[in-house]
């Protein structure tokens, strides 16, 4: 989500560096935030904790393996970003 966007985010309810952090003008939600929300939004979030990843409505929590993206996850990420742009 971009800083100053039209999407309503109640910053009073979020804790910076716990629920999210800023990367330039973009807000990046943490694994903890996603777990608090309780389901996958399907937007390809960097810290999505659900299995299968990036599947809207998913509620099964994946094993946490930092830096270990499966071939399926890598393919799905490439499909979501076909130009190979850095996300």
pLDDT digits (tens, 9 = 90+) for 60-80: 999 876 555 555 555 666 666
Residue 6, domain member (yes or no): no
Q: Residue 25: in which H helix or E strand, if any? A: none
Residue 26, domain member (yes or no): yes
The average pLDDT across 38-50 equals: 93
Whether the pLDDT of residue 59 is over 70: the answer is yes
Decide if 7 contacts 26 (C-beta within 8 A).
Answer: no
The average pLDDT across 18-24 equals: 94
Range of the domain at 54: 11-80
Between residues 45 and 5, the one the model is more confident about: 45
Residue 3, domain member (yes or no): no
Query: Total structural domains in the chain?
Result: 1
């Amino acid at each position: 989500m971009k800083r100053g966007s039209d999407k309503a985010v109640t910053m009073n309810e979020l804790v910076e560096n716990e629920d999210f952090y800023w990367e330039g003008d973009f807000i990046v939600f943490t694994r903890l935030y996603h777990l608090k929300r309780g389901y996958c939004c399907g937007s390809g979030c960097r810290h999505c904790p659900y299995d299968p990843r990036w599947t809207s409505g998913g509620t099964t929590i994946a094993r946490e393996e930092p830096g270990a993206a499966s071939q399926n996850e890598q393919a799905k990420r490439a499909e979501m970003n076909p130009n190979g742009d850095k996300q």
